[in-house]
């Protein structure tokens, strides 16, 4: 088992985007738990990539290739997580806030929510406050999930909550926030309903928010 996990980690860190699907499939064939592949291999590899980027050991192109590699790996695991439950537990909008193009964490949360039986409308990345508000009015979700990976884009989350209040929509939708620089204190400060440190916590929160 450890050999498969290490092989996936090494492939993501080394940016082996063409090989990763085979390596993940081999791990699955050998009986490795899909959740272990996500948490102990794919996410853990991106932590190493992030540290290497932060310390100047690698640069944006290498980080991007690792991100693509991780995404390719997730694609193989995704069908095993989604659609485990037949009835929708509620509707969740997911998006990254304006200025933020980091979508791996958001995609992971989306996948886990779908796997837990939620209907998820993934609006993608770089969503302006105006567009998010339009979508909330149109879709009327139970939960609005916002992701941010940059300290410079976190304030967008506050703007979204403020705009929901000023347009009288706040009591109709729960706001869930997450992303590496976000924490519980920040979530409380901006008036969000909850913070998810990871995809599993996000699912727990969404369950609590939309009891159906």
Residues of this chain that bind ligand B1M (CB under 6 A)? 43, 46-47, 49-50, 53-54, 60, 63-64, 67, 99-106, 108-109, 145-147, 149-151, 176-181, 196, 198-199, 202
Q: Which is nearer to ligand B1M, 29 or 201 (CB)?
A: 201
Q: Pick the closest to residue 186 from 210, 151, 142 (CA basis).
A: 151
Closest distance of CB 54 from ligand B1M, Å: 3
Q: Facing residues of 174 across strands?
A: 143
Q: Facing residues of 95 across strands?
A: 146
Closest distance of CB 134 from ligand B1M, Å: 19
Per the structure block, which two tokens stand in for 63?
């980080």
Closest distance of CB 138 from ligand B1M, Å: 19
Q: Pick the closest to residue 175 from 88, 92, 89 (CA basis).
A: 92
What is the rounded CA–CA span in Å between residue 147 and residue 143? 13
Angle at 123 between CA 92 and CA 146, to 5 degrees: 60
Q: Which is nearer to ligand B1M, 30 or 101 (CB)?
A: 101
Q: Which is nearer to ligand B1M, 49 or 173 (CB)?
A: 49
Q: Which is nearer to ligand B1M, 30 or 181 (CB)?
A: 181
């Amino acid at each position: 088992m450890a050999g498969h996990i290490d092989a996936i980690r090494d492939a993501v860190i080394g940016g082996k985007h063409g090989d990763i699907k085979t390596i993940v499939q081999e791990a699955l064939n050998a009986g490795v738990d899909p959740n272990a592949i996500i948490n102990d291999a794919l996410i853990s590899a991106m932590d190493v990539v992030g540290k290497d980027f932060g310390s100047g050991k690698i640069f944006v192109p290498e980080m991007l290739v690792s991100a693509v590699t991780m995404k390719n790996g997730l694609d193989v695991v995704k069908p095993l997580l989604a659609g485990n439950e037949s009835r929708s537990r509620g509707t969740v909008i997911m998006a990254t806030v304006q200025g933020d193009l980091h979508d791996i964490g958001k995609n992971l949360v989306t996948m886990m929510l779908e796997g837990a039986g939620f209907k998820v409308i993934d609006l993608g990345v770089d969503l302006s406050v105006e567009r998010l508000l339009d979508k909330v009015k149109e879709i009327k979700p139970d939960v609005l999930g916002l992701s941010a990976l940059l300290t410079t884009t976190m304030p967008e989350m506050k703007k979204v909550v403020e705009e929901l209040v000023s347009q009288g929509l706040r009591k109709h939708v729960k706001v869930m926030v997450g992303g590496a620089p976000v924490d519980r204190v920040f979530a409380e400060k901006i008036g969000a309903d909850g913070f998810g440190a990871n995809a599993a916590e996000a699912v727990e929160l969404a369950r609590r928010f939309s009891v159906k």
